[in-house]
Structures are given as structure tokens and as C-alpha cells.
Amino acid sequence: MGICDQRVVIVTGAGGGLGAAHARVLASEGAAVLVNDINTDAARAVVDQITAAGGRAIVNESDITNYASSGEAVAQAIDVFGDLTGVVNNAGNNRDRMFASLSEADWDQVISVHLKGHFCIASHAVQYWRHQSKLGHPVSGRLVNTTSGAGLQGSVGQSNYAAAKAGIAALTLNQA
């Protein structure tokens, strides 16, 4: 028995790094995990590690920056595992540039993955939980959003990243 038995969790950016670690630990504690990453091979490797260790996991390559695609990730978790009880918003990217050299494209890409990505998938999850509650079903949903001290203190060469992470902190307070 693990502390996540009966849990179904989506982890974004779970093909490597911190996201992969989140996915493996959640699975080792009994959660069924939807491993989301746009790098399908990386996501597959994490799923293979989880299943080899006796856990339950599936690959999902939905684009979290696209609202409809994020909804497909939520739908897949529910279709395959029968429920959704948590989302770990971890996906991220970097386009390091000093502010004077930062392009609009670099700004948009980082804000999209970090901030919009956290919004899109959480929105679908919360709508699912709200619907379940209105049907009279018990809901025990959790949102975990990854942010950084850069959002509170800034970070040289990362004004896009720092702004996105500050936005995630504010989003999280409002979601709570």
C-alpha cells in the first residue's frame, strides 16, 4: 500500500528531469500516472521504467500549450484509468537571453509552456472535478504547480522565465 493508492495523476513534462522523478515516485506510491511529454520517446522510457517496477503508467504527448490538446490528456487519463485525482504541472523550457536581446518569440514560447500550459490542463481537470461534484460524487482533486524563486527574485538572463514563474505563483494562489 502506498500513499497514492487509488490516485490517478497527470504529470506534465514527465519525459525527463524533475517531471520524470515525480512520475516515478507517484507510481511507486501506487498512483496510476499519465506521463505527458512532447518528446514521445522520453515519455515512453519513463513509462517503461514505471511498468518494469510494477507500476501503472501510460504515455501522453498532448501539447499542454493548446487548450483542446490538454483536454485530450485529461480525457485519456479518465478513459484509461477511470478517474483523475491530480495534476502535477511541471513542463517547462528555457530561452535564456538578456532582456535587451530577448525576442518576442523567445518570450512567447516560455510564457506559453510555463504559464499557459499550467492553465490549460488545470482548467480541464477542475472542470472534470466540478462536474463530478455536481453529480454528487466525492472529489479529492489536487493541483501541484511547479514554480521557482526566479518568479519572486528575478533571474539574470531569464526575464521571460521569471515572469512566467511569478505568474504561476499568482495562478496557484487563485486556484487555491
Active site residue 165: yes
Active site residue 148: yes
Distance CA 151, CA 18 (A): 18
Which residues, including other chains, have CB under 8 Å from residue 63's CB and lie 6 or more apart? 38, 69, 70
Active site residue 161: yes
DSSP letter string over 75-123? HHHHHHHS---EEEE-------B-GGG--HHHHHHHHIIIIIHHHHHHH
Q: Which residue in 62, 116, 159, 165 is the catalytic one? A: 165
Q: Which residue in 62, 70, 116, 148 is the catalytic one? A: 148
Radius of gyration of the chain (CA): 16
Q: Which residue in 70, 116, 128, 161 is the catalytic one? A: 161
Q: Which residues are catalytic?
A: 148, 161, 165
